[in-house]
Amino acid sequence: MKQRNMLTVVLMAASSAIWAADGVPVTSHNGACQVTVPANWQVSKMFGSANSPDNKANVSVTSPLHSSSLDDLKQTAKMLYTNDKVTKDSATEFQMEGLSMNNKPNVYRGISIGGGKLCVAEVIYESGAIDDARRIAASLKSAK
């Protein structure tokens, strides 16, 4: 039993390392924010988005101009994403999971990158595991 558990942990760690090593960046249209997706995803550089090969998952990354603070973003997100539950909420990051506005499973994440700027990513998926969506959303960071 211990060997099986250890093998599972090793395989999970290896797949995470491979995924990160083979990932490609998706940068927001203004170049301020980025996430990392698996290398086989199709990236649209013009729109700051990417789609999985089967088109059953996608991510959009933005740097909103109209949210003056992370608190404003949180309030707006809670109003818009009524089928999501808050899973992380701090002074620098905010994450919700549930159903997107088009009723597909999602992970929505916002972070403060300093200087009053924010980054936002939403991963919407029809297939695959929520862990993959969480991993993409967790990779959200400043691109500069």
d(CA 71, CA 3) in angstroms, rounded, equals 46
Tell me what the mean pLDDT of segment 133-143 comes to: 97
Full-model pTM: 0.83
DSSP lists the bridge partners of residue 86 as: 96
Task: Give the list of residues 6+ apart from residue 16 with CB closer than 8 angstroms, or none.
Answer: 135
Tell me what the mean pLDDT of segment 20-39 comes to: 91
Among the listed residues 39, 41, 43, 40, the one whose alpha carbon sits nearest the alpha carbon of residue 22: 39
Domains (range + CATH), the chain: 23-142 (3.40.1000.10)
Asked whether residue 122 carries a pLDDT value surpassing 50, the answer given is yes
Q: How far is CA 143 from CA 26, 35, 73, 91, 136, in A?
A: 10, 9, 20, 20, 15
Render pLDDT for 34-53 as a digit per residue (tens, 0 to 9).
Answer: 999 999 999 998 899 999 99
Task: For the beta carbon of residue 26, count every other beta carbon within 10 angstroms.
Answer: 27
